[in-house]
Amino acid sequence: MLLLITTSVMAQRKSELFARIDTLNAELRTTKSELAESERKLAGAQTRVSTLEMQMEQLRETNQGLLDNLNNFIQSSTERTNNIGQTLESLQQKEAQLKAIRDKFSSHDSLAFKVLTDLKKTLGEDAQMGVENGKISIKIENEDLFGTNNAEAKIAESQKAYLQKISEIIKKYQSLSVTIETKGLDNQEILARRAGALAEFMATEYEVTQERLRAMGRVSLAEGTYIRLHPAFDGFYLWMREHLKNGL
């Protein structure tokens, strides 16, 4: 009986042991299955992480490229803006230059018109005068001014009152220079002496500033003495040269 009881107990324990082994094997298979699933998921997660890290790196590179391009664009835009500003400033300076030159020419033109109007009122409509190349020219016949003696360089009495009127207009417009030119078929020396005599007469008798007067003679078929009022071209040239040089 003891043997049977012992045998029965051992058989029961063996059966329980086998059952426990089966349970453990089932749990092991489940655990292995879960482990495999976990490893698969972990591998997938690692792959996704690697992919995300790669995408993040690409994104960082892309963002850095965009930032570099943006900085380059801003720098280029700033340089273009500065260049445009400098160009506009240069254009404004040149426009101011041109305006000053136009104003200067306009002032000369308006002054010439005013002087010509005064001369017509003073000398009468019959006076031989006109405007040529910006110069107001008054013509007096050589025979009327110096007489019929071709070598004579003395001012005729009949012309002194006329010359006085011209001199008063000259003194009224101090900014103008005066060129006296005697033309004719005589030799150059006689023509120059006559023009010089007229300039000296106007300076001495009617107080026209000597520095404003320039006398010259020229051999020509067109005879006559011309008193020309014009801007001081040398001064105007110097003014324009300095104005343009300073502007540039």
pLDDT tens column, 111-163 = 788 888 899 999 988 899 988 877 899 999 999 999 888 777 899 999 999 99
Place of tokens 């003073």: 122
Handedness of CA 74, 76, 79, 83 (dihedral sign): negative
Entry pTM: 0.56
Q: Is the pLDDT of residue 53 over 50?
A: yes
With tokens 């009617």, the residue in question is 206
- DSSP, collapsed to helix, strand or coil, labels residue 248 as coil
Q: Is the pLDDT of residue 33 over 70?
A: yes
**Range 30-57 average pLDDT:** 78
Lowest-confidence region among 6-15, 45-54, 107-116, 171-180: 6-15
Pair 229, 136: CB distance under 8 Å: yes
Output the CA angle 113-97-136, nearest 5 degrees. Answer: 20
What value does the mean pLDDT take over residues 104-111?
62
Inter-residue long-range contacts of 199-205, CB under 8 Å, 24+ positions, other chains counted: 201/155, 201/163, 202/163, 202/166, 202/167, 202/170, 202/178, 205/160, 205/163, 205/164, 205/167
Class of domain 105-240 (CATH, top level) = alpha beta
Contact 173, 111 (CB under 8 A): yes
- Answer whether 119's CB lies under 8 Å from 169's CB: yes
- How high is the pLDDT of residue 148? 84
Indicate if the pLDDT at residue 239 is higher than 50: no
Residue ranges covered by each domain of the chain: 25-86, 105-240
Query: Which pLDDT band holds residue 196 (cuts at 50, 70, 90)?
Result: very high
Confidence band for 235, pLDDT divided at 50, 70 and 90:
very low
The residue that leads in pLDDT, 203 or 232, is 203
Query: Are 109 and 190 within 8 A, CB to CB?
Result: no
The three-class DSSP label of residue 218 is strand
Q: Computed from CA positions of residues 237, 242, 247, 248, in that sequence, does the dihedral angle turn out positive or negative?
A: positive
